[in-house]
Amino acid sequence: MILRHWHTGFVVKDIDQSVKFYVDGLGMKLIRKFHSKGAAAAKVVAYEPVEMSGALLEIADGTILELLQYIVPSSNGAQSQERNVTGASHIALIVEDIYATLDRLVEFGGTKWNDPAETEPGKILSYAQDVDGNWIELAQIDLSINKLT
């Protein structure tokens, strides 16, 4: 049985660039950076040898985003421009001002994929990608007229 959600993780090309994107660009809080290698890490990720740099970031409500940069073996850099491929994932963030957030996301190296669209009264959505092509769904939701479910 699941007790609770721990974190969502993205593989990134450059940990420092991605931390800057999420902290300075989107306003997340850096909890800590870490470095991992050796037998225990190899056992967890099933790569031998393995060396990774990572960061844990706090989203506004205490949810955690983990960023991982594989140093050994290095990431192949492949990313998808498609949201409909099997294995594609995204993180959805509720924001105060979707237009300003998209502008800031682009300013820090992200990619806007569509203009925001009102999908129902009080709910405006848009997709974007971070600097490594990880998908981000932005939502501006009037919670006085919409439920999150």
| pLDDT tens, residue by residue, 40-99 | 888 888 889 999 999 999 998 889 999 999 999 987 766 667 766 766 789 999 999 999
> Which pLDDT value is given to residue 148?
78
pTM above 0.85, yes or no: yes
Say which residue, 37 or 76, is predicted with more confidence.
37
> Which pLDDT value is given to residue 91?
93
> Which pLDDT value is given to residue 110?
96
Look at phi and psi of residue 38 and say left if phi exceeds 0, alpha if psi is from -120 to 50, else beta: left
- Tokens 């190899």 identify what position? 42
Residue 67 and residue 9 in contact, taking contact as beta carbons nearer than 8 Å: yes
Q: What structural domains does the chain harbor?
A: 7-72 (3.10.180.10), 90-141 (3.10.180.10)
> Which pLDDT value is given to residue 129?
94
